[in-house]
Amino acid sequence: MTFLDHFFDTLPIFLPILLVLALVSTGLWVAHWFFFRRNGGLKEEDRFSARVGMLLLVGAGIVLILLALPVDKETHKELFQLLALLITAVITLSSTTFVSNALAGFMLRGMQSFRLGDFLRVENQFGRVTERGLFHTEIQTEERDLTTLPNLFLVSHPITVLRSSGTIVSATVSLGYDISHKTIEKLLSDAALAAKLKDPFVHIMELGDYSVTYRVSGFLSEVKQLLSARSNLRAQMLTTLHNAGIEIVSPVVMNQRRLEDGIRVLPPQLSELPHEEEKIVECNPESLIFDKADAMAQIEALKEQREAIREEITVLEGQAKSKKEHIGPWIEQRITRIRQEEERLSLQIQQAEAAKIE
């Protein structure tokens, strides 16, 4: 028997498994394109469900491949028993990591406590959310680094999320007893206003042996500028207190070295500085520190706008079919304009995803 005769004799035996392999491969490729690449991709919350769907499809594909194997029923039964045993062993051995992180991911999705671009604090980790996966969440820290947090870690520790509507920015300072607290409260409130914070207020935190500790706070509506706002508040506190002739470092300085009466430790006034030193470079460090978080938040916002436009198109198309003839053309024109807007948003999403920093 020649090789070709043997090949054609055995081909009908392996033909079903070859067809199933081709069908499963094609189906998974189509599903991946449908879930993740069609029309520029899904929103972040929809991607989570798509990943779960892909896992289920992969499992179904494995079952189909086992069923198509050219073996007898007894061997099929043993193969499925082996598959069930492997799945059970994997779940048992990795229950504290793999499965627990997946369940924690479902829990975080159900709670909807934070979104892409939000500031997140858990334990000693702080940053903006850049990715939300089935097993982990990624944040971008104040040093521009990317930190991966397992979802199990997030659900087992208290999470602090800065509200997108605004947050409170605070700073503390210790001053001597020789200055009235009314004067200090007024000056610190002025410093908060100079730092562009709204509704400032001052609390007396502690009456120490040598000084009084004050905390000034104010409302920051634009949370993306949090780091700059914190620094700016402290800078304005220095400027305001020094311009008022209030020495921040007393009484420590008085206890460490001798000074003549009436001498205060203050920096020179701005008017006394050379012209070159008066130039302060204005910059926005948040745009550099949280570049990936900004990009991911922008992509998510664009996808939400596109989804709203698609829903509006569906509603208008339904109205166009039910309205009278003289109303239909107006709706068609509206649909055309909205579709153009959808295409523009899809192009922006593609450009943003291509330019985002990994």
DSSP state of 157: S
The secondary structure of 67-111 as a DSSP string is: HHSS--HHHHHHHHHHHHHHHHHHHHHTIIIIIHHHHHHHHHHHH
What does the alpha-carbon distance between residue 97 and residue 103 come to, in Å, rounded to a whole number?
A: 10
Cβ neighbours, 10 Å, residue 44: 20
Q: How confident is the model at residue 352, as a pLDDT? A: 67
pLDDT, block means (10 residues), the chain with 358 residues:
60 75 85 69 60 80 80 78 79 69 82 83 88 85 86 88 87 89 93 92 90 92 88 94 82 57 65 48 61 70 75 72 59 73 72 59
Long-range pairs for 133-142: beta carbons < 8 A, 24 or more residues apart: 133/51, 133/105, 134/48, 134/51, 134/52, 134/101, 134/102, 134/105, 135/98, 135/101, 135/102, 135/105, 136/101, 137/108, 139/293, 140/289, 140/290, 140/291, 140/292, 140/293, 142/227, 142/289
CA dihedral 312, 317, 320, 322 (to 10 degrees): -100
Indicate left, alpha or beta for 40 from its phi (over 0: left) and psi (-120 to 50: alpha). Answer: left
What's the pLDDT score for residue 215? 95
C-alpha pair distances (Å), 270 with each of 122, 243, 249, 280, 300: 41, 10, 20, 11, 45
- Given a contact cutoff of 8 angstroms between Cβ atoms, the answer to whether 105 and 49 are in contact is no
Q: Can you give the pLDDT at residue 98?
A: 74
Report yes or no: 144 and 285 within 8 Å, Cβ to Cβ.
Answer: no
Residues whose CB falls within 8 Å of the CB of residue 144, separated by 6 or more in sequence, listed in order: 288, 289, 290, 291
Residue carrying the six token digits 């028993």: 81
Report the C-alpha dihedral over residues 145, 151, 154, 155, rounded to 10 degrees: 170
Exposure string (b/e) for 186-210, b if CB count within 10 Å is 16 or more? ebbbbbbebbbbeebebeeeeeeee
pTM of the model: 0.57
Q: Identify the CA nearest to 329 among candidates 319, 340, 339.
A: 319
Give me the pLDDT at residue 189, please: 94
Q: What angle do CA 134, 139, 145 make, to 5 degrees?
A: 130
For residue 56, which amino acid is it? Answer: L
Alpha helices in the chain (DSSP H): 3-32, 44-68, 73-93, 100-111, 151-155, 181-194, 226-243, 252-256, 285-289, 291-322, 328-355
How many Å separate Cα 4 from the centre of its chain?
60
Residue type, position 346, single letter? S
Closest to 70 measured CA to CA, from 123, 131, 19, 34 = 19
| Confidence (pLDDT) at 15 | 75
